[in-house]
Amino acid sequence: MVPRVAVVEDEEALSVLLRYNLEAEGFEVDTILRGDEAELRLQERIPDLLILDWMLPGVSGIELCRRLRMRPETERLPIIMLTARGEESEKVRGLATGADDYIVKPFSVPELLARVRALLRRANPERVATILTIGDIELDREKKRVSRNGRPIDLGPTEYRLLEFLMERPGRVFSREQLLDGVWGSDIYIDERTVDVHVGRLRKAINRGQQADPIRTVRGAGYALDDRFGRMN
């Protein structure tokens, strides 16, 4: 899956420049010009990384960052904050609000790209691994095989993709809509209850009715793969 980066920046020239360079690096890019619009868009679709300008019309970058950190779906979203020179004294506040990194304008594009790659690696080492492991569950992407406690597990293609998607992002809570988007694709219309059906099948296959269930149902929010599950075993 291609990593998706959202850029929230009201200087249009900079926004265009960032889109061009991030796309050239192979990322999918969403550009958003206002803080309030970004807040709405991020409820529909969560990127793999967010580049967030400090000063924005609508809702400021720092306020948006604070709000994102309060929602379970985005509390771990990797965020790089852009600040203008002179706002540097505010950096500490930026990091305290929950940004993972910050970069001071004017910055060099290669520098920003290096930070983006570093943060993605740090945040999602699973995205580049061949074998994903959580607790006693192992998923081999090359062989497309899943096992638990060394015993092979048969999964349908949808359950496999669902498990892979969740294992790539342990601990993150996904709404049914986000799972549909990430696992089935955004251009297909499928009822959200379909997600429940496939999560049910996946649970049945990996738990066999007797092992600890690593899939957490978050009431009113959706599903997550419990990242504490590995440590409990």
Q: Which parts of 114-188 are beta strand (E)? A: 131-134, 137-140, 145-148, 151-153
55 is an interface residue for Ca ion by CB under 5 A = yes
Cβ of residue 3: shortest distance to Ca ion, in angstroms? 24
Q: Return the DSSP state at 4.
A: E
Which CB, 61 or 182, lies closer to Ca ion?
A: 61
Cβ of residue 165: shortest distance to Ca ion, in angstroms? 34
17 is an interface residue for Ca ion by CB under 5 A = no
Find the residue with minimal CB distance to Ca ion.
55
Q: Which of 7, 51, 52, 53 binds Ca ion (CB under 5 A)?
A: 53
Which CB, 17 or 55, lies closer to Ca ion?
A: 55
Residues 6+ apart with CB under 8 A from 178: 45, 46, 73, 222
d(CA 42, CA 77): 11
Question: Which range, of 4-12, 17-25, 62-70, 144-152, touches Ca ion by CB under 5 A?
Answer: 4-12
Which CB, 102 or 160, lies closer to Ca ion?
A: 102
Cβ of residue 231: shortest distance to Ca ion, in angstroms? 41
Question: Which range, of 18-26, 52-60, 161-169, 206-214, touches Ca ion by CB under 5 A?
Answer: 52-60
Query: CB-side exposure of 129: number of CA atoms within 13 Å?
Result: 18
d(CA 11, CA 133): 42
Residue 65 tokens, joined = 């960052």
73 is an interface residue for Ca ion by CB under 5 A = no
Cβ of residue 56: shortest distance to Ca ion, in angstroms? 6
Alpha carbon separation from 146 to 1, 153, 174, 209, 217 (Å, rounded): 19, 5, 22, 17, 22
Cβ of residue 84: shortest distance to Ca ion, in angstroms? 7
Single out the residue of 149, 180, 148, 144 nearest to residue 164, CA to CA: 144
90 is an interface residue for Ca ion by CB under 5 A = no
Number of H helices, E strands in the chain: 9, 11
Binding mask 129-168 for Ca ion (x = CB under 5 A): ----------------------------------------
Residue 226 tokens, joined = 């419990």
d(CA 94, CA 72): 19
Cβ of residue 41: shortest distance to Ca ion, in angstroms? 17
Which CB, 7 or 116, lies closer to Ca ion?
A: 7
10 is an interface residue for Ca ion by CB under 5 A = yes
Give the residues lining the site for Ca ion (CB under 5 A). Answer: 10, 53, 55
